Structure 1
Amino acid sequence: MAPDEDASDPQSLIPVSMRSASADRCWWCGGFADSREHRHKRSDVVGTFGGGRWTDGGVVRVVSGRNRPDYIQGPNSGKLKFPKVLCTSCNNSSSQAFDLAYEAFSQYLRENARVVDDGFRFKFSDVYGSDWRIHREELVRYFVKHVGCRLAEVGIAVPDALIDFMNGKGRRAPHLNMQMSANLSKLEMGRHMSRVHGSNEGSLWLGDHELLLGRDGSPGGTQSFFGFDWFTLSWGFSFTWRRGQSNFYHSDKVEIPQFWPGGMAAGDVERVCVDCNSIEKKA
């Protein structure tokens, strides 16, 4: 199943006050940007589609606004990466703990069906053990790393307060509203592909990067989401939001809200399945 990408580019509508002055600088430390971060964590890509070279045409990137999908040749494809918006040091050693915290979190959700069976509930302590508070902070900083790369690739200046947060100052990422949720249509699709078509591959998702407008109609921030299988991390960014918000920072226990995308309901996935419809047409 395909990683979903966006073809939208809000850059032309971004006011000068939001733009970064240096296109070739690392958004985190200001050094020369010479490293490309994966849009989806590489461990997610390999865990979903396998390592090595993909030669059977089964891994494609679907981009909204484009008629043809991109065929991906392997997990290191440039099509799965951000442009050079980080330096090598920030993308590797400085953020290694954040990357590892995300990998543990992603692996836990993928491998523990009881999270879904228990009503999309989990405990950070079940993921990370007794040091869950420390690793939760690292997980949040991975999320911020991803958001920072999305902002930087369209030329938005990452605020100093967010960079300070990445450097270990403060709690709750400023300027961001981050929400975990469960997309029930993606859960249903995964179950349908496994039950009907024998495919146990997962899916990766990256939403369109959209502008957020203020009360006066002027651009004040952006929003998007990313995720794997049913899990979604939606985020909104604004220069005017000084205090960060989230729905997973209150305690060890997290209850993930569920939703059906607009216009969809239980059973719709099977009705719109391309593989099922092609089989019916051949018959």
Structure 2
Amino acid sequence: MICWICNKNEANSREHIIKRSDIKRVYGRGSYRGDRAPVHVKNGVLSYIQGSDSRILKYDKSLCSECNVKFTQPFDLAYEKFCKYVFENEQLILHKRYIDFFDVYGNDFEAGQRDLYKYFAKSFGCRLVDAGATVPDDVRELLKKDTFQTGLRINFSVNEDVLILPKEDRDGFLGKGDMLAWLDRKDNTKVNGYEWNEHISWLTISYWYNIHPDGNLGSVWVADNQFIYLGIMFPLDEEQREYARKKVEEKPNKAN
């Protein structure tokens, strides 16, 4: 297989599905054992994670080491800086319901948010390849540009149902949603667009490629604004939400 980013080198490197820095932030460097060991769930199958570099947390090889380690490193660092800011300023962000990239990256916020967007574009591309799809040229090519046009739109939302959980539990709520393909109405073999999401705790990042984003899930962002305004989502119905609240309330009693 050829690396989908450079489109020339052999794919000999595996990208993390769950970012290693996210795992380490919540669970430490590892190894992980006992009740606090993270659990990976996929298709209903539970697997205990022993370390932040576990193979189960990685995609199959789809990148070359040059692209995955060297070329995209600034994107990874921009993401880590963004996450650090979000977790250190959680209550402020939840109160304001927006993020100012100046507060994250300082005077260099234009370059910082551009690298952050490229991290998400890389994440989207790796997920497409994992699903057996081809990464659109505009997504692949924007990684090498300072200015670009693309069909990939992103927005950020607060998952209010995750906020029901105690902080020590919700911080470990890391994962990816299903990749949905939008088929052409006249030709169901043709894909017109994609929809996807991933989450770090209560913050959900939604991806929309060549389809109209759901405005309830936040302002649309293409690395083109100093501010991102957070949307809102309630995945649980009222009965499920009430059940979750009761389970959280019961948890301290069980520990005593």
Q: What is the TM-score with the length of structure 2 in the denominator?
A: 0.84
SS in 2 for 1:73: coil
Partner of 1:256 in structure 2? Answer: 230
Shift of 1:257: 1.1
Partners of 2:3 and 2:63 within 8 A in 1: yes
Partner of 1:159 in structure 2? Answer: 136
Partners of 1:190 and 1:229 within 8 A in 2: no
% identity of equivalent residues: 30
Partners of 2:171 and 2:200 within 8 A in 1: no
Partner of 2:53 in structure 1? Answer: 76
Distance in 2 (CA, whole Å) between partners of 1:61 and 1:164 is: 32
Q: Are residue 232 (structure 1) and residue 204 (structure 2) matched?
A: yes
Distance in 2 (CA, whole Å) between partners of 1:96 and 1:43 is: 13
Shift of 1:275: 7.5
Aligned length: 245
Shift of 1:276: 3.9
Distance in 1 (CA, whole Å) between partners of 2:65 and 2:12 is: 6
Partner of 2:24 in structure 1? Answer: 46
How has the CA–CA distance of structure 1 residues 55 and 263 changed in structure 2, closer, same or farther, with 3 Å as cutoff? same
Distance in 2 (CA, whole Å) between partners of 1:113 and 1:40 is: 20
Distance in 2 (CA, whole Å) between partners of 1:103 and 1:130 is: 18
Q: Are residue 99 (structure 1) and residue 76 (structure 2) matched?
A: yes
Partner of 2:104 in structure 1? Answer: 127
Where do 5+ consecutive residues of structure 2 fail to align? 213-218
Distance in 1 (CA, whole Å) between partners of 2:115 and 2:244 is: 35
Partner of 1:12 in structure 2? Answer: none
Q: What is the TM-score with the length of structure 1 in the denominator?
A: 0.77
Shift of 1:118: 2.4
Superposition CA RMSD, Å: 2.9
How has the CA–CA distance of structure 1 residues 55 and 164 changed in structure 2, closer, same or farther, with 3 Å as cutoff? same
Shift of 1:277: 11
Q: Are residue 204 (structure 1) and residue 174 (structure 2) matched?
A: yes
How has the CA–CA distance of structure 1 residues 205 and 278 changed in structure 2, closer, same or farther, with 3 Å as cutoff? farther
Shift of 1:79: 0.7
Q: Are residue 32 (structure 1) and residue 10 (structure 2) matched?
A: yes
- Name the structure, 1 or 2, with higher relative contact order (CA <8 Å, separation 6+): 1
